[in-house]
Amino acid sequence: MPDAVIHSVSTCDARFPLPPGAGTDSLHTNSEYSFAVTCLSGENGLRGTGIALTLGKGNKLVCEAIEMLANPLAGTAIEELMADFGRVSRKLADDPSLRWLGPHKGVVHLALASITNACFDFWAKSRGKPLWKLLLDLAPDEVVRLLDLSYLDEVLSERDAVELLQGQLASRNTRMSILNTGYPGYDTSVGWMGYDDQKVRDLTRRAMDSGFKAFKLKVGSDDQDHDLRRAAMLRECIGDSGALMFDANQRWSLPVAVRMSRELALYKPTWIEEPTHPDDIHGHALLAREIVPIKIAAGEHIPNRVVFKNFFQASAIHYVQADCTRLAGVSEFLTVSLLAQKFGLPVVPHVGDMGQLHQHLVLFNRIGLGQEPLFLEHISHLRDHFVFPATVADGCYKTPQQPGASCDLKLSFAGNP
């Protein structure tokens, strides 16, 4: 196979204003989903697209950080790059003049997410495979060479990681059926905070009719009675058999989180999501002990593998909502997935990519890593903007077949604001 070369790197600040109410929660009152896009161009129209999610004007900063970080990629051959991508990723993450801005968090790390995702897309397209298949076709040591495992030595050495992957090879065939059945989805778009009761009920019924069995409701408003009433309403709407998740988007102090979680327990949530500040590992651990048997989910604002490691070590979360547009892209997502597997925790991605890229990654996690196939978040607001939008049928993501990571956007990269 010829080694495709990245000829140039460009960025695009892509903004997508949403309809009123869509995308709103206890902290985010605007509704402008934004992608900081990395575009890698090769020969014969080969293009790698990587995205990182932000929520509006700050997107510009991530695009500029991409430009600062990504230039060394121009002129490199993709196979050579990916043969040792863990080292490449660490080097980019430790750029001496940008590292101070994190390290490994915030604007620069989001930029690295976008860049990394573009590399994986370029690579998969150059091999003519959808990303999930590319990853599954790699040998365990090839997978591990994609990863930066630094600062994880005491819990996940390179050897641990290879052994973990090798240990799943023999049983892979028993898990391949997911490619045919599709990966179950859950619907977040029914329960935005800015939607009135009637809209929530209508959307939920429509989602149930189309096969969804799991739904999320935003809580954490200033009016806690309102939150409880809506929780009751949605539980009634979906019946006892549906799965229901409550998402506070970090709004609660620890004492409020304890009280509200206990009150919401009445409505049998699968999890309480982002109950308090995402940096408060000790707070999450305390909460988890206080509200047994209620489960906690978090991850969309956990910036890197080291913080995830600490969450796992503290038994502070039950569902790992890693997001490859928050972490340093596909490779750090895989690292966190390996860590989660080691700690016996399920990975249920937050979809900053609207599920486009994560639909590949959950298939790898299921087949290659032996993760349980719980469900993948589904948010449909941007589907018309993707060249190959993720397709959900009967509540399940259909396995993507096109080469790449499904992140190409329809907009013209040149002409975007």
Q: Read out DSSP for 120-145?
A: HHHHHHHTTSBHHHHHHHS-HHHHHT
Of these, 153, 197, 236, 394, which contacts a copy of itself (CB under 8 A)? 153
Tell me the H-state helices in 33-127: 59-70, 78-82, 85-93, 106-126
Per-residue binder mask for a copy of itself (CB under 8 A), 206-245, x = binder: ----------------------------------------
Is 350 catalytic? The answer is: yes
3-state secondary structure string across 353-408: CCCCCHHHHHHHHHHHHCCCCCCEEECCCCHHHECCCCCEECCEECCCCCCECCCC
**Smallest distance from a copy of itself to CB 250, Å:** 7
**Smallest distance from a copy of itself to CB 253, Å:** 4
Cα 71 to Cα 65, 68, 117, 272, 415, distances in angstroms: 11, 7, 15, 41, 21
DSSP state at residue 410: S
Amino acid at the residue 18: L
Tell me the H-state helices in 22-84: 59-70, 78-82
How far is the C-alpha of 293 from the C-alpha of 16, rounded, in Å? 39
92 binds a copy of itself (CB under 8 A): no
**Smallest distance from a copy of itself to CB 281, Å:** 6
User: Site size for a copy of itself, by CB under 8 A?
Assistant: 59
Is 381 catalytic? The answer is: no
Of these, 22, 55, 77, 228, which contacts a copy of itself (CB under 8 A)? 55
**Smallest distance from a copy of itself to CB 106, Å:** 2
101 binds a copy of itself (CB under 8 A): yes
CA nearest neighbour of 287 among 267, 258, 310: 258
On whether the CB atoms of residues 47 and 125 are closer than 8 A, the answer is yes
**Smallest distance from a copy of itself to CB 227, Å:** 19
Q: Which among 125-133, 305-313, 355-363, 383-391 is the span making contact with a copy of itself, rule CB under 8 A?
A: 305-313
On whether the CB atoms of residues 21 and 38 are closer than 8 A, the answer is no
Of 71 and 391, nearer to a copy of itself (C-beta) is 71
304 binds a copy of itself (CB under 8 A): yes
176 binds a copy of itself (CB under 8 A): no
Q: Which among 81-89, 216-224, 306-314, 376-384 is the span making contact with a copy of itself, rule CB under 8 A?
A: 306-314
Of 87 and 213, nearer to a copy of itself (C-beta) is 87
On whether the CB atoms of residues 404 and 353 are closer than 8 A, the answer is no
- Active-site entry in 104, 216, 350, 358: 350
**243-247 and 214-218 as β-strands: parallel, antiparallel, unpaired?**
parallel
315 binds a copy of itself (CB under 8 A): no
Of 133 and 309, nearer to a copy of itself (C-beta) is 309
- Active-site entry in 125, 129, 133, 218: 218
Q: Roughly how many angstroms between the first and final C-alpha of the chain, as a whole number?
A: 37
* Residue numbers 240-269 binding a copy of itself by CB under 8 A: 250, 253-255
Of 76 and 310, nearer to a copy of itself (C-beta) is 310
Q: Which among 70-78, 162-170, 229-237, 270-278 is the span making contact with a copy of itself, rule CB under 8 A?
A: 270-278
CA nearest neighbour of 49 among 407, 416, 411, 413: 407
Cα 389 to Cα 27, 322, 354, distances in angstroms: 28, 21, 9
172 binds a copy of itself (CB under 8 A): no
100 binds a copy of itself (CB under 8 A): yes
Sorted by sequence, the CB contacts under 8 Å of residue 34 that are 6+ apart come out as: 13, 14, 15, 16, 53, 54, 55, 56, 59
Of these, 130, 303, 373, 403, which contacts a copy of itself (CB under 8 A)? 303
391 binds a copy of itself (CB under 8 A): no
Please identify every residue annotated as catalytic. 218, 350
Write out the residues near a copy of itself by the rule CB under 8 A: 27-30, 32, 53-58, 60-62, 64-65, 68, 94, 96-110, 150-151, 153-154, 250, 253-255, 276-283, 286, 301, 303-304, 306-307, 309-310, 313-314
